[in-house]
Each structure stands twice: as structure tokens, then as C-alpha cells.
Chain A
Amino acid sequence: MLAPLDLKLLRDLGKMKGQAFAVALVMACGLAMMIMSRSLILSLETTRDAYYIQHRFADVFCNLKRAPNSLRARIAQIPGAAAVETRVSGTLTLDLPGLAEPADGAIHSLPEDRRQTLHLLYLRRGRLPEPGSTKEVVVGEAFANAHGFQPGDTIDATIYGARQRLKIVGIALSPEYVFEARAGEALPDNKRFGVFWMNERELASALDLDGAFNSVLVDVAPGADNAPVMAELDRILAPFGGLVAYGRRDHASSVQLDDELRILRGLSVAFPLIFLSIAAFMTSAVLSRVIRLQREQIAQLKALGYSSWQVGLHYVKFAIVIVAAGSLLGGFGGLFLANGVVELYHQFYKFPVLELLPDWGMFGVAFLVSGGAAFVGVIGSVRQAVRLPPAEAMRPEPPAEFKPSIIERLGLARFFSPSFRMALRNLERRPWQALFTALGLALAAGIPIVPGSFRDAISYLLSFEWDVAQRQDVSISFIEPASASALADLQNLPGVMRAEPFRSVPARLRHGHVSRRLAVTGLASDASMNRLLNDRALPVALPPDGLLLSAKLAEVLDVKPGDVIRVEIQEGRRPVREAVVQGVITDFVGMAAYMEINALRRLLREGGTISGAHLAVDSMRWPDFLARVKEAPRIASLSIKEAARQSFLKSTGDMLGTITTIYFTFAIIVSFGVVYNSSRIALSERSRDLATLRVIGFTHREVAAVLIGELALLTLLAIPAGLWIGTQLAGFIVMSASTETIRMPLILTTRSYVMAVIVVLASCAVSFALVSRRIHQLDLLGVLKARD
């Protein structure tokens, strides 16, 4: 048989299971979020690290125009270079039967005469091309799955102007394409962009690079520094039209993953901490109530000879049971959610295997943290209770000291009913308790604002990006910078109503110690299709000289308008220039720098070159346009705005939508839990008074009015505070989730606030109804037994 005190514990908990469950549930929500995000972090990090090591992801990358294969040996001798891989890389366009618009892709070579040492492929199905074979390719898995390709299928591709029919022999993944997207794009466009691998000799031939290479990968020895390796590589490749070497920090796929982890880390602490604090506060309130109610039982136990320690421990066990229940629920809930999110991640991140690795260590920490918080919340009441000499504890508490309330001191008492006056006096008697209850209610009102603002942020982002900023239908990029006549060619395509050119160069922007590698884009000053916007979504005019930077980029580089930064062009003759930052623009995906197109051309000392154009196409002639554009030889990629929007909605939009729903559910649970708890505690504290009122002759409704009046008063006061708290919370979380790759705007609409108020009022309505029922069960006779 269990010890009698433990039997008492279980039975007492059974009597208050509603409240205990409410607290455990709130705790579980916080823990679930924490476990979910930390497990995702662990899974992604561990999987990524293993993948990079096992499949030899390089440390240093460099693209160039053309260098002879014999140069490979010299590169291999760079001090610090543990392994070197040279290859041929290019782009291709595809004409797929199921797709109206053309697709494009990147293609890389696989060595035939030597063993591949870096960027080893993970073959999901099929095989690599036979050495010496032609027309055989391996396809990236994301693209293959989007189209249902199998080994043995054929596709028509145009490489460097030559159209060929290729046979797919294998489907694979590569560590350089964990994120299978076009360079510079934030989202995979798996239906329209794919990655390919082909035998080296054949690809070199197609790209007019026989016996040469145009891309270098270097694995830097452990312990060696990247910088000298990159510097030496630049020196060696400079005569061969080399762009500047860069490391993983500037590698698109790698950076994406890093930023995702950063966001997860931010979320894994902020939100759960708030929930756990609320749970600790609720535990404290519930247990204080229990201890007050059991004052006489405590005295009994001490009279029987139980030490203060033993009695205190008995009540601490109440907290322990609740914490244990909350931890179990939270742990399994978190794992369940994490599993679901991992499924979503499979869409984005291409790993050979991505399994959920539960963060058991964090589980233990979470248990300790919530246990600690609950313990701290409880220890005060416990200590107070056991410290009383038993005789005093057995005496009934002296009547509470009441004083006239503020409205009475102001002389306004006669305007208010006795119930209201009682409520007000009681609140004033225990101001700290009223404050804590109000705080809990405020949090209950504020928390639902956060998921609401997420949802509004997503809508705003969509509209901002794809309705207001980008008004083109199609963006076309050329394989190589083309002359102004290329623009005319585009304008002559069927259905094209307007074509606005852009010139884009890869560059490294530097200010002091900080630098970033990105594209500087030159736009026409009268550009109306791809517009630059400020934080109020109004167009910003391009200055005739100087740069406009993303606000985030300006923050990262620590510059403000008027500052001068260094622009290191990484193309052609690689000029280094200085330019003035003229202003900032607002965007939410990636970071960019813009100049007036002629200003950029002057910087590059070139004529009317363009890298591509934004087009407005007549929707009636869309099919004709697509048919012609598929055949155009110089086009590297074609990005259709509507398609990009759909892609976002289906992937990131989906994911954010799921997370928002989860948070909203949690917010509702917390809201209800806090309100219900506060109501039950208020009821039990006043039960003697309320029963006395019943005996005197107050009806059920009048008695309910007294109790609920107090709570309603507090709630009304708490709501404005809560809305303010929720706003701060949302701002804080948006800030901690803001990265260079993706940011969310802080959007607070009336709808969010109204939803939050509705949630808390609904919780109140339900809780008050439940509590009112209990008023019917007040023990009227118990009140009549006087104790002396």
C-alpha cells in the first residue's frame, strides 16, 4: 500500500483534476514548442553535418571563364588545399511536354578519367553515366519527382544553343544542392528548375570547353584558414577570367540552411519561455489555494508529528505531479509536431535521409526548468503554511480586514450595487493577488495576437512582393551579358507589350570589416514593372548615381544613407569601385543592391549591355509567347511571376500556415486555462462568504454576480494591457525571426486585436458558466457550523 500521505495526494489531485489538467496543458504547450524546435534543430544540424562530411561538400568555390585542365595540378599545390576538383558547369533550358513554359537548369560535369573527390552524388535510383557514353544524364531528385521522371526516360534539352535528346540514367542528390533552387532565388521552383550531371568530356564539348574547366571546388584542410587559400586561388585564376573565390558563407544552399536554423533557434526559446512562465504562475496560484484550503489538515499533520519538511514535501509533490504530466504531454506532443514539420521539410531540403532526432537532452532540461519554475512558485506558500504553529493554523482565520474602496472614498458609492462594492473592496484588499490575476488575464488576451500577426504578415508579404513590387509577368535572364539589340529581340516576341532591361553583376559589397556577396542590379530609372518600395509600400525613385540597398543589408553592413561602401565587381576585369549609399528599400526575401542602369554601366565602364529584361505579356497571346521563347537560344532562365507566387503559396505558405495554426491553438489553450484557473481559485477563496450570502437570501444569480463581477472587472482592466503585451511579443518574435534570407514584417491589424479579445471573452464566458454551476454546490450547511 502507498504511504497514506501519497494516497491523500492522489485523491486530492483527483478532486481538482480540472485545474491540474489546465495547468499541465499550458505547460505542455510551452514544452511541446521547445521540444519541437530543438528537435528540428538537432535533426537538421546533425543530418547536414554528416551529409557534408560523407559527400565531401567543398569549402571554397570559384567560377571562371576558362582554364586548361593542366592548371589543376598547380591548384592542388596551394598550401591548405586538401582536395581539389575541377569541373565544367553550365545552364540549359528544357522543353517538357507537360509544361507550357520552358524550364531551365544547371548542369555540372562528372569526371571520367579520375575518381571524383568532392561533391559526391547520392544516387537515389539508377546509376551514374558510363565513362565514355554520350547523352546520359543524372537528374536532381526534386526536379525528377516534380515531373515523375524515372531512369530510362528521355528529355529534350538545349545546351549552349544546341538541342539534344538526353537519357536519364539516374536520380541523385548533391550536398551543394540541399536547397535545389536557382542561384539567388529564395525558393525552390522544382517544376521549372532542375539540376543535372553529365560526363565531363561530353559537357565540355557542348560548352565549348574541351580540355578545360570553368569551375573549381576546394576542400580546405582541417585547421587551415580559408582566406589564404581563396586569395591564392584568385591569383592563379585571375588570368583566366576568374570570378572571385567564395566560401560556404556565400554559398546559396548553405546559407539558406543556416538561416532556417537561426530562425528555429530564436523560436525555440522566446515563445516557450512565455508559456512556461504562465504555467509556473498558474501552478503557484492553484497550489496556494490548495494550501489555504488545507490549513487545518496541515495543522493536523503537524500535530500528529509530521515534520515541516515532510508536510512541505507533500505539497511540493502536487507541483511535481502536475509538472510530470505536463512534461509527458509536452514531450510527446512536441515530438508528434516535429514529425509533421519534418515531413514539410522534405519538400524544401534535399537530404538523402532526413529523420527526426528527438532532443532528449532538451527534454531533461525542459523538465528541470518547468519543475524549477513551479517549485519557486510554490515554495513561498508552502513555507508560510508549515511555519505556523499548529494551534494557530487550526484556529479559523481572523475576519479579513476590509476598508472602504476607492469609489466610496470618492463618495460615489451610492451609484453602485452592493455586489459591485463588495467586488471592488475585495480587489483592493489583496492588490498583489488582483495584480497577478490581472497579469494572467492580460497574457491570455495578448498571446493570440502573435499567431494573428504571423498570418497577416504572410498576406502582406505576398501582396507586397507579387502585386506591388513585381508587376512584370516574366523575367528573362541571358546566359551572358548581351548588347542592347537583345532587348529589341525580346520586344519582338509575340505578345510582349513592354520590356524593361536590367543589368546584373555579382559583386562583393564591403564596409569596414563586413562584406556580403550578392548581385548588384541596374534598373531603368523609369522602371515601372519591377519596382523598389519603401516601408510604406510606396515606390522609391532610383537616384541618378549611387546605390539603394535592402534595409537589412544596410543593417548588416552598418551603413546609412550618405555612407560610402566598396563595390568589388566579380566579373570581367573585376574592377573595384566606391559608391555612395543613397537610400534603403524594403524587401523581405534575400538582400539586394540596386543602381540606375546607366550608373551601373558607367561603374563597369561598358556600353548598353543588359543581363536580362522584365516583360509584360498579353495574356491572350501567352501560349504563342511560350512556344517562341522555348526556342530562344540565349536565354538562361525564365521566371514567371505567377508561377513563383503559386510555388511560394504551396511551400513556404503552407509551412507558415501550419505553424500559425499550431500557435493559435496553443494560444487559445493558454487563454482558457488561465481564465478558468483564476475563476476556480476566486470561487474557492470566497466560498464561505458566498455561501453565507446564499444563507442570508441572495439568489444563485446574485451570488454569481458578486463572484463574476470581480473577475469581469479584472478582465476588462486586463484586456488593454494584454493587447499591448501581445503587440510587444509579436514585435519581439518578428525581430528574432528576421534573417538575411527571409524576414517578416510586423503587421498588426484590427482583425488580430479583435480575434484576441474574442478569444479571451469566449474563455471568460465558458469559465464563468462552469464556475456558476459550482455555486449551486456551495455547502450552505457547512457555513452554519461555527468554529470557536
Chain B
Amino acid sequence: METTTPAIPVLTPPDSLAPLQPGRERLFEVRSLTKVYPSGESEIRALNGVDLDLYSHELIVLLGASGSGKSTLLNIIGGLDAPTQGTLFYRDLDLTHATEAELTRFRRDSVGFIFQFYNLIPSLTARENVALITEISRDPMSPEEALALVELDQRMDHFPSQLSGGQQQRVAIARAIAKRPEVLLCDEPTGALDVQTGITVLEAIEHVNRELGTLTVVITHNAVIADMADRVIHLSDGHIVDMRHNRVRRPVCTLAW
């Protein structure tokens, strides 16, 4: 049985922001990001002052327990939610003060999302779900191309109810990448899948990151997956407690959990 070879941890303080390799550009600048939201009669401090820079071509894994704020951080970075305090820049765009139209444009042109529960439109086939994106994108792949990339070209005309969990997730990936986004955000993409299917899904994500150079952020609470990343960021109670760079990225097929 293979054991994972832990990469040499390089503990860098949270505010060390040097890029890993020359030639990569900084895409996101996050400063003092805080998010508080009401829920019923209580109040939840999901994020408590996060500072972070994210670069193109990177594959980042966000680790943390339930309630650590990783989903919240991902949602805010992707323009799905607004922070209570702090700033967030995507290149020159100030996302914290962006208008509704600017946020929509940002999501449409630059970001691809993948969620734990696939979130496909149930009344559309796989191909049509991907077409949702290609209809409104500037320079998309065709739905067929995107589905071929995740090896689902044989099942393009099936409805979500006719696909297995792994297949649905792969349709979601195809949908996310069809627009050739600069950023790919994945919230627990394998959480609802068995190990084998999970590996297939992660391989697709890895493939896309390498082929398209997309900044990819993957949330998981499974520490083993961290080995496939360039950088691993550890969140707890709404702030970053640890950040390390992996000198070498382990291919997904070598991981086991």
C-alpha cells in the first residue's frame, strides 16, 4: 500500500505574498476580509480578517473543518456573496464595491463554479446544462468539446436524473470550464462521491488546471487531497492558520484515502 510522502512543509507567515514562480500574474488580492451573517436569531462570524493573494496557474486546496469559513471565502472570491468588511480585488476590479452588473459580468466571463451537490438544472440534459453557459459566454468551447474534456460525450442527451453522481459532477465541471474561465472554484467536489469516482473527478479538475492554466481553488476537509495542490491553505474559525507550498505536486492517481 502506498503511503503518501509528505512534502516538506514550508511555513510562511500569512502575509508573505511572493509569487511562487515568475510569469504568473496576481489575480486576486484579499485584505482583511470579514463576513458576518444573521441566521434565525443568532449571528455567525464566518470570516474574521483574511489576507490572501491568488495567482494564475495555481491549484490551491483550502482545508478546514466544518464551519471554518472555507465555503464563505470561496463564495466571496467568486462574487456570489458580499463581505461585511475588507477588500477584494480581481485584477483592477474592486469586487467589494462592484455593481450588480459588474458582478454578473465577472461571474459570467471569468469564474467557473463546481459545488458539492452538482447543482444541475434538473429539467435540462447534460448538453443543455452546458449550453446554459455557452449561450452567454464571449468565447466558449462548444458543449460537445467541454463534455469530451471530462469524457462524457457519450451521455450528452441524458437528464441529471439518468446520470450517476460522478457523471453529474463531471457535467458540472464541463459547464464550469466551457467558458474558458480564468478562475475555477470547487466547493467539496468529491464530498458526495465514492473514492473511485472522486479520483476521476479530481483528475478532470487537475487536467483542466494544467491544460487551460486556470487558477483552481478546491475546498475539501480531506487532508490527503492537499497533496495534489501547489499551495495548501488551512482555515479555522474564520482565519488562515496555516499556509504551505508543495514543492512537488502529486498526481491524483497516486493519492489514496
| Cα(A307)–Cα(B107), bound, Å | 10
Interface residues of B in 108-134 (CB under 8 A from A): 108-109, 111, 113, 115, 117, 119, 121-124, 128-129, 131-133
Interface residues on A, range: 20 to 34
Residue of B80, B131, B175 near A390 (CB, 8 A) is B80
**Is there a chain B Cβ closer than 8 Å to A302's Cβ?**
yes
Is the beta-carbon distance between A303 and B123 smaller than 8 angstroms?
no
Interface residues of A in 732-788 (CB under 8 A from B): 787-788
Hey, which chain A residues are within 8 Å of B104, CB to CB? 302, 305-308
Interface residues of A in 10-34 (CB under 8 A from B): 11-12, 15
Given A5-B132, A399-B40, A788-B66, is A392 in contact with B81 using a C-beta cutoff of 8 Å? yes
CB distance from A365 to the nearest CB of B (A): 34
Hey, which chain B residues are within 8 Å of A300, CB to CB? 119, 121
Is the beta-carbon distance between B108 and A304 smaller than 8 angstroms?
yes
- Majority secondary structure of chain B interface residues (helix, strand, loop or mixed): mixed
CB distance from A317 to the nearest CB of B (A): 14
**Is there a chain B Cβ closer than 8 Å to A391's Cβ?**
yes
Given A307-B101, A391-B80, is A8 in contact with B121 using a C-beta cutoff of 8 Å? yes
| Cα(A302)–Cα(B133), bound, Å | 11
CB distance from B173 to the nearest CB of A (A): 13
Is the beta-carbon distance between B75 and A304 smaller than 8 angstroms?
no
| Cα(A787)–Cα(B136), bound, Å | 30
Count chain B CB atoms within 10 A of each CB in A11, A12, A391 and give the residue with the most: A391
Hey, which chain A residues are within 8 Å of B121, CB to CB? 4, 8, 297, 300-301
**Is there a chain B Cβ closer than 8 Å to A401's Cβ?**
yes
Closest residue of chain B to A398 (Cβ to Cβ) is B40
Interface residues of B in 70-114 (CB under 8 A from A): 72, 75-76, 78, 80-82, 100-101, 104-105, 107-109, 111, 113
Residue of B100, B115, B136 near A394 (CB, 8 A) is B115
Hey, which chain B residues are within 8 Å of A296, CB to CB? 119
| Cα(A15)–Cα(B136), bound, Å | 26
Hey, which chain B residues are within 8 Å of A3, CB to CB? 135
Residue of A7, A306, A389, A394 near B124 (CB, 8 A) is A7
| Cα(A391)–Cα(B75), bound, Å | 6
**Is there a chain A Cβ closer than 8 Å to B39's Cβ?**
yes
| Cα(A15)–Cα(B135), bound, Å | 25
Is the beta-carbon distance between A389 and B136 smaller than 8 angstroms?
no
Is the beta-carbon distance between A4 and B81 smaller than 8 angstroms?
no
| Cα(A5)–Cα(B135), bound, Å | 10
| Cα(A124)–Cα(B167), bound, Å | 79
Is the beta-carbon distance between B80 and A303 smaller than 8 angstroms?
yes
Hey, which chain B residues are within 8 Å of A307, CB to CB? 100-101, 104
Hey, which chain A residues are within 8 Å of B40, CB to CB? 398-399, 401
Interface residues of A in 270-327 (CB under 8 A from B): 296-297, 299-308, 310
Given A3-B135, A4-B135, is A12 in contact with B119 using a C-beta cutoff of 8 Å? no
| Cα(A788)–Cα(B109), bound, Å | 29
| Cα(A11)–Cα(B123), bound, Å | 6
Hey, which chain A residues are within 8 Å of B80, CB to CB? 299, 302-303, 389-391, 394
Closest residue of chain A to B172 (Cβ to Cβ) is A300
Closest residue of chain B to A392 (Cβ to Cβ) is B81
Hey, which chain B residues are within 8 Å of A390, CB to CB? 75, 80-81
Interface residues of B in 161-204 (CB under 8 A from A): 175, 179
Hey, which chain A residues are within 8 Å of B75, CB to CB? 390-391
Closest residue of chain A to B175 (Cβ to Cβ) is A304
Given A7-B128, A11-B123, A300-B121, is A305 in contact with B39 using a C-beta cutoff of 8 Å? no
Hey, which chain A residues are within 8 Å of B107, CB to CB? 302-305
| Cα(A307)–Cα(B109), bound, Å | 12
| Cα(A72)–Cα(B117), bound, Å | 97
| Cα(A307)–Cα(B103), bound, Å | 9
Hey, which chain A residues are within 8 Å of B137, CB to CB? 305
CB distance from A782 to the nearest CB of B (A): 12
| Cα(A297)–Cα(B75), bound, Å | 16
Count chain A CB atoms within 10 A of each CB in B40, B81, B111, B121 and give the residue with the most: B121
Is the beta-carbon distance between A306 and B108 smaller than 8 angstroms?
yes
CB distance from A748 to the nearest CB of B (A): 49
CB distance from B98 to the nearest CB of A (A): 12
CB distance from B39 to the nearest CB of A (A): 6
Closest residue of chain B to A296 (Cβ to Cβ) is B119
| Cα(A641)–Cα(B122), bound, Å | 72
| Cα(A306)–Cα(B137), bound, Å | 10
| Cα(A669)–Cα(B137), bound, Å | 46
CB distance from B65 to the nearest CB of A (A): 12
Is the beta-carbon distance between A4 and B101 smaller than 8 angstroms?
no
Is the beta-carbon distance between B132 and A304 smaller than 8 angstroms?
yes
Is the beta-carbon distance between B117 and A787 smaller than 8 angstroms?
yes
| Cα(A399)–Cα(B113), bound, Å | 27
Residue of A15, A389, A401 near B123 (CB, 8 A) is A15
Interface residues of B in 13-43 (CB under 8 A from A): 37, 39-40
Interface residues of B in 137-180 (CB under 8 A from A): 137, 175, 179
Closest residue of chain B to A9 (Cβ to Cβ) is B123
| Cα(A441)–Cα(B11), bound, Å | 68
Closest residue of chain A to B120 (Cβ to Cβ) is A300
CB distance from A347 to the nearest CB of B (A): 53
Hey, which chain A residues are within 8 Å of B108, CB to CB? 304-306
Given A303-B113, A304-B107, is A391 in contact with B136 using a C-beta cutoff of 8 Å? no
CB distance from A305 to the nearest CB of B (A): 3
CB distance from B175 to the nearest CB of A (A): 7
The proximity string for A residues 376-407 relative to B, scoring 1 for CB distances below 8 Å and 0 otherwise, is: 00000000000001111010001101000000
Residue of A8, A391, A394, A398 near B119 (CB, 8 A) is A394
CB distance from B95 to the nearest CB of A (A): 12
Hey, which chain A residues are within 8 Å of B113, CB to CB? 303-304
5 tightest Cβ-Cβ pairs between the two chains A and B: A305-B108, A391-B81, A11-B123, A391-B75, A391-B80
A305-B133, A788-B66 given; 14 more Cβ-contact pairs under 8 Å: A5-B132, A15-B123, A296-B119, A297-B122, A302-B80, A303-B113, A304-B175, A305-B108, A307-B101, A391-B75, A391-B76, A391-B81, A392-B81, A398-B40
11 A-B contacts (beta carbon < 8 Å): A4-B128, A8-B123, A8-B128, A11-B123, A15-B123, A305-B104, A308-B100, A390-B75, A391-B72, A391-B76, A398-B39
